[in-house]
Amino acid sequence: MFSITGCDKKSEEVKDENVIVEDTVESTEVKNEHYPVIITTYNYEKEPIEITFEKTPEKVVAVYQNSIETLLALGLEDKIVAAAGLDHDVKDEYKEAFSKVKYYDNVPTKEEVIGLEANFILSWYSFFGEKRLGDVGFWHERNINTYMAQNSGVSKPDSIENEYNDILNMGKIFNVEDKAKAIVDNMKAEIEKAKEFGKDREPVKTVILEIGKENTFRIYGEDSIGGNIATLVGADLVAKENGRIGAEDLVNLNPEVIFTVYYGDAIDRDTALQSIMENPALSSISAIQNNRVHSIMLSEVFASGIRTLDGIISISKGLYPELN
């Protein structure tokens, strides 16, 4: 309370001031109630560790597609001090926001990250190797928090639930939980839509693959994001295990639908499609004869982040062309 003497008008003015002060204090308290936030992530030994956020990270280094786009989708572009590792251009709806972000052609070095005074690093498991960013302990000793995408090689099996959790964790870390939940809810709704559409239909014999050398193919099985999505929405994933198969094996599986993965400069979209459609060794396969071979971005089927929604839509449309 203030000790005031004087006219009633002056007292009223002071009372008004007090209301303003109290409201300001109250709103500050509400704002800070969110923290501290404790999040489980991993070290390079793939061991779970807990880290604590006392406040919103203000200087973030984001490495790889899902890391960058998740932050952009949550409206956090002003928090990113360095970004690197894109396989594809960011989605059109985030290009304006991304134009404000400093992008590095190569992953920043330890010295560069320290020089940027970063207080949070968000990336894939592989980028925390010693020859890149280094293990998380190096950063935690310097009060710089880290987070590894769960489906980037650190947590097995890969699953769509891990993608949901990564997005929700970013919502908690940055105090934008409503935005994160809305993104995840939209993904779940799209899954349910496809499940409902396919529930009374025969499962579609499906393969998700990546072309390799000498007529070999890398399979995205049930333990991959793509395979998890396909199974959830009603596919019969005839190549169920992650690994590699040959052309003869693929012919024997005879899938009705093939999703062929492309990314970056390594495998472009046309190459991914033509290497399947124009391969004489595969010409007897049902998917090829019926023109049901679909290209799909790596970022839709591996460590997919907000592109999980795109993966759900791409796979659902490939299985059920009439769905949309």
Q: What is the pLDDT along the chain (324 residues), one digit of tens a residue?
A: 333 333 444 444 444 444 444 444 444 444 568 999 999 999 999 999 999 999 999 999 999 999 999 999 999 999 999 999 998 899 999 999 999 999 999 999 999 999 999 999 999 999 998 889 999 999 999 999 999 999 999 988 999 999 999 999 999 999 999 999 999 999 999 999 999 999 989 999 999 999 999 999 999 999 999 999 999 999 999 999 999 999 999 999 999 999 999 998 889 999 999 999 999 999 999 999 999 999 999 999 999 999 999 999 999 999 999 886
Q: Using H for helix, E for strand and C for coil, what is the string for the chain?
A: CCCCCCCHHHHHHHHHHHHHHHHHHHHHHHHHCCCCEEEEEECCCCCEEEEEECCCCCCEEEECHHHHHHHHHCCCHHHEEEEECCCCCCCHHHHHHHCCCCEECCCCCHHHHHHCCCCEEEECHHHHCCCCCCCHHHHHCCCCEEEECHHHCCCCCCCHHHHHHHHHHHHHHCCCHHHHHHHHHHHHHHHHHHHHHHCCCCCEEEEEEEECCCCEEEECCCCCHHHHHHHHCCEEECCCCCEEEEHHHHHHHCCCEEEEEEECCCECHHHHHHHHHCCHHHCCCHHHHCCCEEEEEHHHHCCCHHHHHHHHHHHHHHHCHHHC
Considering the entire predicted model, what is its pTM?
A: 0.88
